[in-house]
Amino acid sequence: MSDSREYVTSAGEYGSINISEDVIALIAGNEALSVDGVAALFSSHGKEIADIISKRGAARGVKIIIDDKSVAIDVFILVALGRPVSGIGGDVQRAVKDAVESAAGLSVSAVNVHICGVALKSRKQ
């Protein structure tokens, strides 16, 4: 993620609540990785030392676009060899949407799944 972070702000009973795009990306990335058949998140930027140290690796393959009170999410994944690609894409969409809406209380306008490749071995094997 870039240094200039965006936040989703909502007014609460006792003040405002600001949720960073990094938090939303981490929730989405972790949920995408939990879907059976997803081998890994994909990032074209390679592994950065800061991501490894700060454990932000699950947010690397996720792009967040904040628009008013809703978010659009792009998830870039690698699927396990021999798994139904379109089925996994739909599972990722549902899982990410449900997780972000329940964990962050945000409206998700879209979850775009980009299947960037096939992994020979699943990380779960």
Domain locations along the chain: 21-119
Q: What is the pLDDT of residues 62-96, one digit of tens each?
A: 999 988 778 999 999 999 998 888 899 999 999 99
Residues 6+ apart with CB under 8 A from 75: 28, 29, 32, 41, 61, 62, 92, 96, 111, 112, 113, 114
Domain over 21-119 is classified CATH 3.30.420.40: no
pLDDT score of 124: 55
Q: What is the pLDDT of residues 14-34, one digit of tens each?
A: 998 888 999 999 999 999 999
Stronger pLDDT, 111 or 18, i.e. the higher one: 111
